[in-house]
Chain A
C-alpha cells in the first residue's frame, strides 16, 4: 500500500504540485495575517482619514483622503500631553524599582544554590498568578487611611509589585545562559561577588535587562485598573484612564479618538515586539525550552 501511494504521488508532475501547495500556503498566510491585523489597520484608517468618511455607512475600506491635523488638535484641545506625562512618571518609577530588585532576585534564583531557593521560586510564581483585583480593595482602604490616594508614586509602587515576578523570571533565564566557568574564573581571581555581577554578569545580560525595563515600564504605562481607582484627580490621570474618558467628552471626533489610541500604543507595541523573545520566555516561566 505504501508503494502504491508513493508511485501515485510520483505520477503528478512535481513542479506543478509544489507550485500549487506553495500558492495555497501564501493564500492561507495572507488571509490569516489580514484578519489578525485588520482591527489595527482600521484604527489607522480611521485616524488618518477625515471624519466624514468614517461616519458614512458603509465606510470605505481604503482611506479616500489623508490628513494629519487631528494630532495637532488633539494636543491643543485635550489634556493628552498631561496624561502622557503622568503615565511616563508612573512607568519610570516602576521601571527603576523593578529593574533594581529583579537583578537581586534573578541572581539568587539563577547562580546560587540555597535551601529556600525553590520556596522563593514558588512564592514568585503564586504572586504572579494572583488577580490584581484581590489586592485592590484592601489597598484602596489602606491608601484612603494613609491619604495616599491621588499619588503617582504610590500607584507606581503597586504596578512594580505586579511586574516584579515576571521580570525576575525573564532575568533568571538570561543569567542562566551565562557560562558558569566565567563566574568561577572571576571568583577564583579574587573578584568579589558584587563585582562579578556588576562587571561580568550584567554586561553579558544587557538584552535581558532591557527586556525587564520594557516590561516594567509599559506595565505601568498600560495599567488601567489600579490607575482608575487609586488616582481620582483629573490633573494626575494617566493616559490609560484618560483615553477611556475621551468618548464621554463632547465634540471628540472619531479621528481624534483613534489618533489618541494610536499615540498611546506606538511605544509599547514597538518595544514589546522588539523584546518579545525574552518577555514570552518570562511570562511562560519554563513552558518554553531555552
Chain B
C-alpha cells in the first residue's frame, strides 16, 4: 500500500514507531529485562532467604555447571526425548495428513476430532494419562497384558525406560495434530494438475508420492521440524507433572533442571547460569528458524 499524498506520507512516517513502541516496551519489561537480570544474576550469588546482598562471583556458577553431571544428563535427556517426540509426532502427522487428504464422508467431523489433543490444556492431559497409566487400575495395563509375556502391570511412570517412553508418546500425542493440520494445508496446495499429468503417464502411487507430493510439502516439513525443536525444547508442564524429571533424573530436561534448581533447592544463581545456557540454545534454534524463513521468502519472491 502506497500513501498517495504528501500529507499522509508525513503522518505515516512516525506512526509505525508509535505503534510498535508500547509492544517493545511491554515485552522489554516482562521478557527482555528479566532475561538481562538473569544473565547478570548468573555471575552473582543470590540469597533470598537471609536477605544477604547479591555478591559478584564471576564465573563460579558456570564452572559449577560444566562440572555438574546432572546438567549434562539433562542436556542429553533433552536431546533424546526431543528427538523421539519429534520423530514420532512428525511421522504420525504425515501419515494422518495423507489419510485425511483423501475425500471421505464426515471428513470435517473426523478432522475436528483429531484436533482435540492439540486443543486440550496440558494439566488435564496429565490428569488423564496419570489415571490411564495408574499401576493399579489404569486401562493401559489391560492393553499391555495383551502382549505375550506381560503378566504384571508395568510401572509406566516409575521405571526409567518406561517413563521416557510414556513421556515421549504422551508429548507426541499432544503435538501431532498441529503438525498434521499444517501438512494437510500444504498437501492441498499441491497442484492437482501435476497428479493428473503423472497419472496419464502411468505413474504409480509411490512414484506420485516421491516425485510430486514429497517435493511439494518438503519446505513445510522443514519449517515444522524447526518449530518442533522449539516446542519440545520449551516444554515444561507435561513432563513436570507426569514425572517431575524422575525416576532418578531419567526424564529431567534442561528446562526441568532449571526449575528444580530454582524452586526445589532455592539455588537461584545456579538456575540463572543454566538459564543463560538455555537462552543461548533457544537463540541458536530461533536464528535457524529465521534464516530458514528468510530463505523461503526469497525463493517465493
Contact = CB atoms under 8 A, between A and B. Distances in A.
A26 B104 contact: yes
A104 B234 contact: no
Contact of A36 (B116, B119, B136): B116
Given A123-B27, A243-B127, A134 B182 contact: no
Interface string B211-227: 00000000010011001
Interface stretch (A40-48, A66-74, A203-211): A40-48
Instruction: Give the secondary structure class of A's interface.
Output: helix
A77 interface: no
Nearest to B275: A134
Contact of B258 (A133, A162, A262, A272): A133
- Interface residue tally of chain A, by bracket? 35 or more
B142 A58 contact: yes
Contacts of A168: 23
A137 to B, nearest CB: 5
Contacts of B126: 244
B121 A222 contact: yes
Instruction: Give the secondary structure class of B's interface.
Output: helix
Contacts of B124: 43, 243, 261-262, 264-265
B22 A36 contact: no
Contacts of B131: 42-43, 46, 254, 257-258
Contacts of A157: 30
B38 A138 contact: yes
Given A54-B137, A57-B137, A164 B27 contact: yes
Interface in B1-33: 1, 3-5, 8, 11-13, 15-17, 19-20, 22-24, 26-27, 29-32
Contacts of A116: 16-17, 20
A132 B289 contact: no
Interface string B114-152: 111111111111111111100011010110000000000
- Interface residue tally of chain B, by bracket? 35 or more
A114 interface: yes
Interface stretch (B61-69, B156-164, B276-284): B276-284
A146 interface: no
B178 interface: yes
B278 A240 contact: no
B139 A129 contact: no
A136 B271 CA distance: 10
Nearest to B226: A287
A213 B230 CA distance: 24
A29 B278 contact: no
A281 B297 CA distance: 16
Interface string A222-266: 101100010000000000100110010000001001100110110
Given A59-B139, A137-B262, A114 B16 contact: yes
B15 A193 contact: yes
Contacts of B112: 273
B142 A261 contact: no
A112 B30 contact: no
Nearest to A162: B31
Interface in A136-174: 136-142, 144, 157-158, 160-162, 164-165, 168
B194 interface: no
B23 A104 contact: yes
B34 A247 contact: no
Interface of B: 1, 3-5, 8, 11-13, 15-17, 19-20, 22-24, 26-27, 29-32, 34-35, 37-38, 41, 46, 48, 95-96, 99-100, 102, 104, 110, 112-132, 136-137, 139, 141-142, 173, 177-178, 181-182, 185-186, 189, 201-202, 204, 220, 223-224, 227, 230, 233-234, 236-237, 240-241, 255, 258-259, 262-263, 268, 271-272, 275, 278-279, 282-283, 285-286, 289-290, 293, 296-297
